[in-house]
Amino acid sequence: MVQWWAMRKAYRRDLAAARARYHAAQQAADTMLQQARRQYAQIQQELAALRQAATRPTVAATARAEAARREAARAQARDGLLNILDDDAQRRTLPHDGFASTLPSQQFPISSFSTHGRGVGSTGAARA
């Protein structure tokens, strides 16, 4: 009977140790599972951020595109101005006496500069 009691005590001690190892292993597995879930969630967030960043242009790319658009607009404006200036140069004719800076503008008729029927530069003495 003493042997049975000793064997029972040893069995229960071993069973308690096995249960303790099982619970420790279970707790370690739960801890690792929670850590894995956190890492998985973090990786998912990083992946979503990378996908979003890939579809959205970067600040540097936006700045480069804006600079290119400004340069294209400047070039277009410059070309347009050069075309206008070239067209004006072809339409203009030199004055008959060669003094272009002293003549009135061609867009106004000569009669608009006259005063009371007198021509430009005429004086009342020449009329009398």
> What length does the chain have?
128
pLDDT one-digit tens code per residue, 31-76: 999 999 999 999 999 999 988 887 777 778 888 889 999 999 999 9
Average pLDDT of the residues of the chain: 79
Supply the DSSP string of 61-104, one letter for each residue.
HHHHHHHHHHHHHHHHHHHHHHHHHHHHHHH----TTS-GGGSP
Residue with tokens 């990083």: 46
What is the residue extent of each domain of the chain?
1-56, 57-91
Task: Report the alpha-carbon distance of residue 95 to residue 97 in Å, rounded.
Answer: 6
Task: Report the alpha-carbon distance of residue 75 to residue 86 in Å, rounded.
Answer: 16
Distance between CA atoms of residues 81 and 66, nearest Å: 22
CB 86 within 8 A of CB 80: no
pLDDT tens track for 103-123: 556 665 666 555 555 555 555
Tens of pLDDT, residue by residue over 74-100, are 999 998 888 877 775 555 666 566 665
How many Cα atoms within 13 Å fall on the side-chain side of residue 112? 6
